[in-house]
Amino acid sequence: MIPPLPAGVSAGISPTRSAAAAAAATRAREASIEAEVLEQRGDDGAKWRGDGKDGRRWWGAPRFKASYTFGAQQGEPRGGAQEAGAPRDELGLGIKGVAAGEARGGGKRRKRAAAPPTAARLKAVVAELAAAAYAPSTKRAITAAMGAWEDFRAMMAEERPVLLKVPSFAGDMEASLHNETSLMLFAAWMIEQGLAASTVGTYMSLTKTNLGMMYGWALTCRELEMRLPKLLKGIRRMHKRIRKKRLGWRAVYEKKLRALIGEPRNEDAKTQTAIRCTLRQGLLRGADVVPERANLLDPERHSLVRDLEHFEASQHFDQPYFRLSVLPAKKGEQQGKDEYVYLPKGNGITDAYTAIVSMREERMARGTWQDDAPLWTTTHGVTWTVAEVRGLFKASGKALGIDTTFLGAHCGRIGGATDLFAEGCDAVLLQMQGRW
């Protein structure tokens, strides 16, 4: 008995020859589709591309071949997407048309603005993004530095009308030397105006950088700078000062103040006690927890109520404690509030835990203890500032007869470190607690 012929094979025709014919027909269809696509793209008749790659290799890329022949996966003949009424410019092949380029990114069009932005709008966005690279304190310093530069430029308008020369080419020595001389004169002018050596160096750096960003070219070539670095070094040598003496607010001062004025009886007095004790016990600067000005409060940097967490006694502390998340003032904003300050319960006079609990009770009673509220506020709901912290330590020291010249917003940090050192704290542990 003769077995039946396989499906798709006619009698009298060899199966091998039939498969070969089918493969040849498939290659012919692909070749015709390839030629059609190349013709539509304007590449007909060009076997080699401009970058030296074979046009056939380019057509063989999966994203082109599959996009044009995807209908075959659903039982349709190759090129099945080319039914009547289906325009070829919607196949995502990069052909100029409504849906050109949709093959990239999974067939989705890229997002477009409702109205195309103008050049002026784009320039404003560029300026905004460039300004965002600086911290608020640096922005204020830039404003002061550029103000000094404008004053200097106005004074030199007659004697040196061209302060800065545009370089004719990269590494233009003549323009670099001219601009370096102008910057040296600017530094000397700031010294004559009475600015400190550190301020002169800061203003010089900020001015060079900001003017370079404004003009789009570097004022000087660093490899050609010989005199300006020496000048700045000479300024630092001639005008160096001994570091200002500072006095820390120690636990013994807090005890003396409590004995003198008694226990705090209202919300403001309890907040003042909590600030002094927290900064001392936590080795914190004033700028670590409060802003320079009330309108500069930054939830990502300064202390809010939600940054303070309460814990019961644990294996680390045999008393309940608070944990305050802070971002040190000298750390970058990208770091976030990932530094922890632990404030365990103590003797009830010098410990921050007792003072914060007392302050919290007052604020809860008034309904001002919300997660997004500043941690340190007045009874009017206004956040404390660095200047007010400085004034608090000076007023507290004055009540004890201490010379207020040496008291500032760093007093708590200095006093807390001094207390730990006097108690025999290991130097490494002291560095860890102080985040040095």
Query: For residues 280 and 417, is the Cβ–Cβ distance under 8 A?
Result: no
Report helix, strand or coil for 125: helix
Beta strand 339-344 with 308-311: parallel, antiparallel or unpaired?
Answer: unpaired
pTM, rounded to two decimals: 0.54
Query: For residues 284 and 412, is the Cβ–Cβ distance under 8 A?
Result: yes
Give the residues of the chain that fall short of pLDDT 70: 1-20, 37-113, 136-137, 240-244, 332-334
DSSP secondary-structure letter at 295? Answer: G
Cα–Cα nearest to 189, from 140, 154, 241, 226: 154
pLDDT of amino acid 114: 73
CATH of 252-434, one of 2.60.40.10, 1.10.443.10, 3.40.30.10, 3.40.190.10: 1.10.443.10
Contact partners, residue 426, CB within 8 Å, separation at least 6: none
Ramachandran assignment for 323, one of left (phi > 0), alpha (psi -120 to 50 degrees), beta (any other): beta
- Quick: pLDDT tens for 349-371: 999 999 999 999 999 999 999 99
pLDDT of amino acid 99: 45
Half-sphere exposure of 58 (CA within 13 A, CB side): 17
- CATH 1.10.443.10 domain range(s) in the chain: 252-434
Contact partners, residue 198, CB within 8 Å, separation at least 6: 236
Helix extents (H) in 110-156 = 119-131, 136-155
CA 139 to chain CA centroid, Å, is 14
Cα–Cα nearest to 145, from 198, 197, 193, 205: 205
* Helix (H) / strand (E) containing 323: strand 321-326
Residue 104 has a CB neighbour count (10 Å cut-off) of 12
Report helix, strand or coil for 56: helix
In whole angstroms, what is the distance from residue 68 CA to residue 88 CA? Answer: 9
Tokens encoding 328: 């040190």
Report helix, strand or coil for 91: coil
pLDDT of amino acid 194: 86
- Quick: pLDDT tens for 208-220: 988 988 888 889 9
In whole angstroms, what is the distance from residue 167 CA to residue 212 CA? Answer: 12
pLDDT of amino acid 331: 74
- Concatenated DSSP letters of 335-368: G-S-EEEEEE--SSSS-HHHHHHHHHHHHHHHT-
In whole angstroms, what is the distance from residue 278 CA to residue 232 CA? Answer: 40
